[in-house]
Amino acid sequence: MSECEPNETDPVVADDIAPVAAAAASTTDLNFRSQEPLSTLFDRNTVGSGTNPGVAIRISGSCESVLTELETDGSGEETLLLPCLSGGTSSPRGERQKRTRRNRRSSSSDKDNLTSPGNSSGDFNHFPGDPEFGDIIQRAEQAIEGGVFPERISQGSSGSYFVKDSKGKVLGVFKPKSEEPYGHLNPKWTKYFHKLCCPCCFGRGCLIPNQGYLSEVAASLVDTRLGLGVVPKTKAVYLVSETFHYNTIDRAKSRGKKYALEMVPKVGRHFHRVGLPPKLGSFQLFVEGYHEADYWLRRFEAEPLPENIRKQLQSQFERLVILDYVIRNTDRGNDNWLIKYEKPGEGEGEKVSCVCAIQIAAIDNGLAFPFKHPDEWRAYPFHWACLPQAKVPFSQETRELVLSRLSDMNFVQDLCEDLYELFMADKGFDKTMFERQMSVMRGQILNLSQALKDNKTPIQLVQMPRVVVERRRTGGQGRVVTLGTAFTQTFHCKRPFFSSW
């Protein structure tokens, strides 16, 4: 017999029986109501209890039903959107603990989303160190909310978009991670047939797949650290738009949540987000007045430049060479770097005298930072090596700009650490593969420093032996390997089947 049950010999008072009977009756009534399949009461105080995904619940006093679902946020973690009462029983104490833990994790912005669920990506994009860039992203988000959607670019083998402001002016180019050349949501079919018909040449064996957006951002970071100024500012952002390529499930979930919000506002306001999920990708600021390099290079052959303009072009070209060589860009053709040229007298007098008349913009840096030198089928050469500018030795201005930095191992190590903080944010980050990427980059920097000291030309630079500089292992405990501060230099002798040098 339990200690809670009264003993037969214990006296029982009638006044004590009444509250116990009332409590038992209320408990029985509650259990009876929880077993009714079609009249489950929904109370916002029960949010946080467990549920089974895909179970339909019915709101008391209404004929509308809403499906509960699990939503995946940007980090890949699943969070419960609309909990309902599960079939099992749970203690009120456990429910209070769940609500307390959830409330501790929630922020003030999450509370706002409960009353007004949104479909923008503003909660993800924060740039406290660059308010100007943050203002541009905010303008882009406001334009999308106002119906000015990004426009897909027809060129290229991936899904990339011109992002505009509310007036239709192009602000930048957005390249989602999921729509990269070999991404699972690439809207262009060329790479699919490439994989299907020619699997032996599928992809680039020297690159980590589906990290193009990080390569774009990292190229901008290297450009900033070296002071080159040839890469338009690029950062990783979250954006959402109906013109992006989503699968059928995401679009169906979006329509279902919008319908629930319209028909049952009390339920819909508990959604974390209404609309399509934001996409992570690289956002590169749009540069105006530029044309493809092929266009201007042909013009310069027919109309030779003045000597001072020619020197400016050579200086800008050398900065492009340094960038591509350091990051080992495997996709630098004359169609993915741009030139802006203002002839003397075309612009305003003050601007012509203060601003360089000719400038270069290095775009499409998504196929860089390989973890090994190309050594299989293709060499992926630098197409600028065939230009006349590649036969001119590096200028003194260029050597003074970057040689002191590239020769400083502390600067190189700091650059590697900055890149580590950038790449580790990706959920597919592999520390071992990243270290191999940095080994290739250190080798490129070592060759570049030597070429600048020896007054070599860009064509001589790309013909130098390929070097890999690895950090020496200093041992460790068990499976933990410690990398020291010493480096080992090795030469990469294996060459691809089709090689131009």
Quick one: DSSP state of residue 238?
E
Instruction: Identify the CA nearest to 485 among candidates 433, 429, 442, 444.
Output: 442
Closest CA to 40 of 60, 54, 55: 60
Total residues found in the chain within this entry: 501
Residue 196: half-sphere exposure toward Cβ, Cα within 13 Å:
5
Which residues make Cβ contacts (< 8 Å) with residue 328, sequence separation at least 6?
368, 369, 370, 373, 440, 441, 444
R_g of the chain, CA atoms, integer Å:
31
CB 448 within 8 A of CB 394: no
450 C-beta neighbours (distance < 10 Å), count: 15
Instruction: Point out the residues of the chain with pLDDT beneath 50.
Output: 1-118, 349-353, 478, 480-481, 501
| Cα three-residue angle 3-7-9, rounded to 5 degrees | 155
At residue 233, the pLDDT reads: 97
Report the 10 Å Cβ neighbour count for 148. 18
What is the pLDDT at residue 335?
Answer: 86
Q: What angle do CA 433, 437, 440 make, to 5 degrees?
A: 140
The per-residue pLDDT for 5 is 44
Query: Rounded to the nearest 5°, which phi and psi values hold at 179?
Result: -115, 25
What is residue 494's predicted lDDT score, i.e. its pLDDT? 64
- C-alpha to C-alpha distance for 96 and 90, rounded to whole angstroms: 11
Q: Cβ distance 488 to 435 under 8 Å?
A: no
Q: What is the pLDDT of residue 375?
A: 72
- Which has the closest alpha carbon to 150: 160, 140, 161, 138? 161
Is the model's pTM score more than 0.75?
Answer: no
Predicted local distance difference test score (pLDDT) of residue 329 = 95
Residue 346 and residue 320 in contact, taking contact as beta carbons nearer than 8 Å: no
Sort 316 into a burial class: Cβ within 10 Å, 0-12 / 13-18 / 19+.
buried
Backbone φ and ψ of 360, nearest 5°: -120, 140
Give, in degrees to the nearest 5, the angle at Cα 424 between 422 and 425. 75
Q: Are strands 151-152 and 161-164 parallel, antiparallel or unpaired?
A: antiparallel
Interhelix angle 431-453/307-327, nearest 10 degrees: 150
Residues sharing a CB contact under 8 Å with residue 501, sequence separation 6 or more, in sequence order: 379, 381, 385, 462, 463
**What DSSP designation does 87 have?**
S
Q: Which is it for strands 170-176 and 234-239: parallel, antiparallel or unpaired?
A: unpaired
pLDDT of res. 2? 43
Cα Dmax for the chain: 116
| Structure confidence at residue 109 (pLDDT) | 37
Judge whether 206 and 374 are in contact, CB under 8 Å.
yes
